[in-house]
Structure 1
């Protein structure tokens, strides 16, 4: 179809508004119509077999269908085909024929206007030929730096001499903004149009050249990275052009300066390793993962205080003064600590530097709350050194102590090195807390690392995997703490010297509470001594009825609980000037009583004996109960007992049977149950052994949910069995401990001090203990306990029964 086949111009034509495209006369384009006005305009053109005009919407005016929202120039053409789509839209195939311009508006629904052909004035002159050649030259230049013009389009532009046609082809390929495209489209002066288009081409050439230049510079670095990396590289190139990218060189130079400042105090292999990593970092790309790991490594190692030591000279008198100031009693642990530092001070004064820092590793062992960690704090204060606490409870990863190998992101030095860096000196006091609770798993055995750390012959060349060079730990004062020494592996126990801290007696707790806990808690709670007072009876009641422990940790909590309520009272009622705490009003401040150890029974009972036990939290009094039931001589044992304790029960029964057989233990023959036949025969010549043949024994240790084990209940079980079989009562004021052999001998046991303190708290007046313990351990028993209790040494089970059975 041609324009001549339709009505002559000017003529009235329906108008379709196109939101996205800017069409040109030479195009055949599919157009999708979704709004009713455009669809109605297309239908009207088809019904009247007329042409149609397509105008572009102005920028920001999309979806508006009025004359003000569209450009007044557009493309006149015909609708070749129309298809209705399933989603409600209509697709038309439009063929452009000529440029048109709106002369007069006719209607708005659909848009109708009087349209005329828009002709561009062009006269072929030497000037126009020159301008056209310049235009084609710029198109070729742009095609070299961009991909806007395919080869066939370039050929068409080169061979065409119609300026208007060439300009339209170039404008459509460049995808200009709507406003720029409209200016060129509506321009009727061909030469002016060409000059405008040349300006756009020059601008596009410069933009494309800059983009290509930057891409060329960073092409080798962006092949394996994302868009963010590409933008960073562009920024880096710009910074290099401006000469402002010097931060990295400054960081590397700072590392070198720190290394040289500490060179005198570090070993040769440490200096070489750190220097090698600095050189490697200077050669690496800053954004690589390896560079980040090396930088993290250098941040750690340059902070190690290679040449920093505490300058305070050891003074044994200051150590003693600090220990006495912070702790009451604990005379034996204090003496051993003083001896330890006396040797170090003597070595230092006599200039024996090769041995300085070497010696035994102290380990404070005892129940919770008796002052193990606080002793280490006092030592650090006396030495004027930093205190580093490393909690080993539950530690199961060797790398936590040895350091992580630098093979993955997140690797870091071990806790020992981190502690030294934190302390900023090479000779701090390092407390290895809860060394008996180190765990072992598939990650390794941390106790194996502790063997090296705690060995004075090896720790001067301790190698942390992360550092990759040796570190001298010989000047560090290592102090370990533990509750149960038996849980520590034997090789590790061999590296340490144990200082045992036992339970406090009630009198010691009273003095600690009066001299230390109350003043310290008053200060913490902002109270003055003139605002509150404790009577002696109140302190004694708190100790006796509100705590259950070997140490004083819960005692401190009870004091704090009282002071919190006192502080509240003083604020609520300003008229109160002073509050006195006595045993009468104590229940107003403390809610729940917790009896420390149950007091002994006041009546003698058959088959019930007071036994003494040691636990990791101190001593305790265990009542062992027995019962006899008609049966066949079987023994039943209950109470969550371990294998060793069950064996003690069997040994005790065998020993008691021998005593009965040898008539060393009298039996009431009337208690032996007789069968009907024996009653008819009036049998009276029964052997004493029938007492244990015709009865079953049930041995029970109360608090059945608590696991118990150990051999020291042997004589206690034997006494309980002898009592129930002979029907003799056991003294309720007596307690006992000792291991029993099959021959009836009483062997020594451990934990005597804690056991006797527990008996003292339970108001026991007499204690039977092995003779060897009486000879060797009596000096460790507090005078308060020895003065209130009768301690009887025994060597055989017959002696035990003589004292215990009534």
Structure 2
């Protein structure tokens, strides 16, 4: 079909835009139409038996059908066939006839335009033929490198002498970018067009060479890999037939790779020891007894985090923020922790070595549940370091810390090395929990090993028996916890700085419960804050009547009880939206009350005095009772008293005798025993006869509970003085302090816990040693000071002036 069969140009023709293909005049190509304008244009051409103008969309404007989104030069041709597809598209078979261009656009429902053919420029035949020969040579070379070029296309190029036709064929074969193809297509000068094509083909040849080289290398590598694979598989099969285990060789190879990777981060002695054991393992028969021991050893040591340290810089400000965020009260402990890390940060800023600034190891000492371990957690979080907890309670075997020697199956490294592996870092925060409960047995003394671990001068080269090489523990931060400092061996105590965490006051417990415990337990029990509420009064009763502790651990359990019962009620009664726990309905949610500290006796009594004691779970009020029985001045003690308290009673007895003899403790004549002579005359005896003619029985109730401590002296003196003088002691007074034979009152420890116990029991006045009053009053909570009158006493005379009532 020829153009002459249609109307003369220029003429108005429908326009179709192709988004994917770039068409040339000689091509017969299927075109798939999905845009309605294109479909209408093709339909119009078929119905009118007219030509169709096909052009390409401009790059980046695919899908648009405006004249500004299409190239102005394209192909004019006819539609040979038109088919409607099931998916709504239309397929046409288009035959290109000639280059054409848009002369004038006609906008409408169907894209139409005045189309005119494009006249090519005349050319120099001799020069053009020379360029075509070069082009054919380049094409042949490209076809030798690229197998995708069809052979019939090469023949057409060889046999055809029309330069524009050959240029179109080559352009279509190269699959050029749309913009590049269009620039070549609109070039009317054939010589320029052929030169541009030669440049493009030259670039294609270079790219094809590189691709072929890469393919050759890849193919060779694949062949080599396949060859090695098949050889290895054959070797495995042969070894299997011979009964040789190949898995062991792979393990040894993996061990070697790990050792080489860790070599830059470990000391030379460590590398030598591990390499030596690996070589032994490689030479050893896999069935031998030592093979498993060595394999376990290699697995342990290669799990050590050699060279791994946390990257976060030390920030005192962040430590302080984290401590305040996680803990209410505890002002002095938090201040001391911040000071400890201030030294480290300052040393780091000034480039000092850590060894030069290492101070004592921190040890948090205090009753259970007051936040010792949680403080360590906050420190680890603030420093961005992993936390490793090593429980030392009941530890008797030194090998648990030092590691077991590799002389038997089941040997393993010590807990410190295991902690480093667990923390995956060489500078974790290591918490030595319950360091006061380390035992000692025939298997060694673990505290001796702890001396090396906690000494900054020695732990740089800490040797674990299992590893058999030195590791550096100096980068780790050690924090110990203890309930009773006195149970820690003296050499170990010398390496520590103790931060005391005392009992919480009821107000502090209330704030901790409100801020931390209730929100945490609400979340743990899948409840929303809007579903459960605990009134302030109910919470105060829960603290005062249902918990028995210095800390808040039992309080947390009680709150958890409330949450569990609340969750159950919400499930059983779906109509409930909220459960309110008040002082009135608290008993429905909890068990019976537990009174930690009984209220003081309601009335003053003779021989009954309130003593203040310190226990591992906080302070307590101990009632000391004394009675006199006719006898010979004997002394009987009950209540399971310890040796120290027994001595206190004997000292107190002697002190009271001196007070009576010196007439500092008046004795009523009616109390003094008398005798009758032979003439039946009544003879009054000296006041000292009161303690000679009466036996005393001293008792501290709750006899099944062991009691001991150096702070019951003045309470014992008061009880004995009261019973011998028959004077009543104020029931609202409590006391603590040790007494000497000369009547001086000695200072005591645990003052804060004791005064909190007095406050809880309803005591109005408390007698304490003068030295404690001078140095320890800043530790006493304000609410205790406001409620209890604290009276300092220096001698036993000061005590006797305060205790008796008329």
Tell me the TM-score normalised to structure 2 length.
Answer: 0.70
Q: Equivalents in 2 of 1:266, 1:504: separation in Å?
A: 47
Distance 2:464 2:743 in 1: 55
Q: Any conservation in 2 of the 1:357–1:474 contact (CA below 8 Å)?
A: no
Mapped to 1, the partners of 2:673 and 2:795 lie a distance apart of: 31
1:354 and 1:555, CA in 2 relative to 1: closer, same or farther beyond 3 A? closer
For residue 711 of structure 1, report the CA deviation from its aligned partner: 2.1
Query: For residues 535 and 729 of structure 2, what CA distance do their matches in structure 1 show?
Result: 39
Structure 1 CA distance for aligned equivalents of residues 499 and 540 of structure 2: 29
Q: Give a deviation string over 1:272-324, Cα, whole Å, max 9, x none.
A: 00000011111110111111111110000011111100111011111111111
In structure 2, what is the Cα distance between the partners aligned to 1:533 and 1:321?
29
Aligned to 2:521: 521
Distance 2:406 2:504 in 1: 49
Distance 2:355 2:312 in 1: 18
Match of 2:584 in 1: 584
C-alpha distance in 2 between matches for 1:777 and 1:473: 37
Q: Which residue of 2 aligns with 1:490?
A: 490
Q: 2:39 maps to what in 1?
A: none
Residue matched to 1:259: 259
Report the equivalent of 1:776.
775
3-state SS of the aligned residue for 2:748? coil
Q: Deviations over 1:311-339 (max 9, x none)?
A: 11011111111111111000000001111
1:372 counterpart = 2:372: yes
Question: Contact 2:270 / 2:470 at 8 angstroms: preserved in 1?
Answer: yes
Change (3 A) 1:464 1:569: same
| Paired position in structure 1 for 2:335 | 335
Q: Distance in 1 between matches of 2:317 and 2:346?
A: 13
Aligned residue runs from structure 1 range 240-639, under 5 A: 245-355=245-355, 358-639=358-639
Q: 1:607–1:729: 8 Å Cα contact kept in structure 2?
A: yes
Cα deviation for residue 673 of structure 1 reads: 3.7
2:426·2:475 contact (CA, 8 Å) conserved in 1?
yes
Give 5+ residue unaligned stretches, structure 1. Answer: 1-234
Distance of aligned partners of 1:256 and 1:697 in 2 relative to their CA distance in 1, 3 Å threshold: same
CA distance in 1, matches of 2:754, 2:266: 52
1:203-222 paired onto structure 2 within 5 Å:
none
Per the alignment, in what secondary structure is the counterpart of residue 443 of structure 1? coil
3-state SS of the aligned residue for 1:303? coil
C-alpha spacing 1:728/1:245, structure 2 compared with 1 (3 Å): closer
Do 2:403 and 2:464's aligned partners in 1 also have CA atoms closer than 8 Å?
yes
Distance 1:677 1:592 in 2: 63
Instruction: State the 4+ residue runs in structure 1 displaced beyond 4 angstroms.
Output: 235-238, 240-245, 675-679
Equivalent residue number for residue 110 of structure 1: none
* Secondary structure in structure 1 of the residue aligned to 2:682: coil
* Distance (whole Å) between structure 2 residues aligned to residue 745 and residue 397 of structure 1: 46
Rate the CA distance shift 1:357–1:715 in 2: closer, same or farther, 3 A: same
CA distance in 1, matches of 2:574, 2:582: 21
Distance 1:354 1:780 in 2: 33
Please give the TM-score of this superposition, normalised by the length of structure 1: 0.70
Q: Secondary structure at the match of 1:293?
A: helix
What's 1:802 paired with? Answer: 801
Distance 1:646-1:679 versus aligned 2 partners, 3 A rule: farther
- In the TM superposition, residue 355 of structure 1 has moved relative to its aligned partner by 2.9
Whole-angstrom CA distance in 1 between matches of 2:355 and 2:481: 25
Q: Is the 8 A contact 1:347 1:355 kept in 2?
A: no
In structure 2, C-alpha distance between the alignment counterparts of 1:605 and 1:448, rounded to whole Å: 52
CA gap 1:723/1:641 in 2 versus in 1, 3 angstroms: same
Taking only aligned residues, the RMSD between alpha carbons, in angstroms, comes to 1.6
- Check conservation: 2:403, 2:414, Cα contact below 8 A: yes
Other-structure match for 2:718: 719
- 8 Å contact 2:309–2:426 — kept in the other structure? yes
CA drift of 1:592 comes to 1.3
What is the Cα deviation at residue 356 of structure 1? 7.3
CA distance in 2 between partners of 1:323 and 1:715 (Å): 40
Q: Distance in 1 between matches of 2:674 and 2:467?
A: 83
Q: Structure 2: where are the runs of 5+ without partners?
A: 1-234
Distance 1:436 1:648 in 2: 26
- Deviation of 1:238 after TM superposition, in Å, equals 5.6
Shift of the alpha carbon at 1:247? 2.3
Alignment check: 8 A CA contact 1:691 1:725 kept: yes
Instruction: Tell whether the 8 Å contact from 1:356 to 1:475 is kept in structure 2 after alignment.
Output: no
Q: Could you say what secondary structure the match of 2:480 adopts?
A: strand
Indicate the SS of the match to 1:698. strand
CA contact (8 A) 2:673 2:689 kept: no
**CA shift for structure 1 position 263:** 1.0
CA distance in 1, matches of 2:263, 2:679: 101
What SS does the aligned partner of 1:672 have? coil
- Go from structure 1 to structure 2 and tell me whether the alpha carbon gap of 1:502 and 1:678 turns closer, same or farther (over 3 Å shift): farther
Residue in structure 1 matched with residue 660 of structure 2 by the alignment: 660
Contact (CA 8 Å) 1:739, 1:749: kept in 2 or not? yes
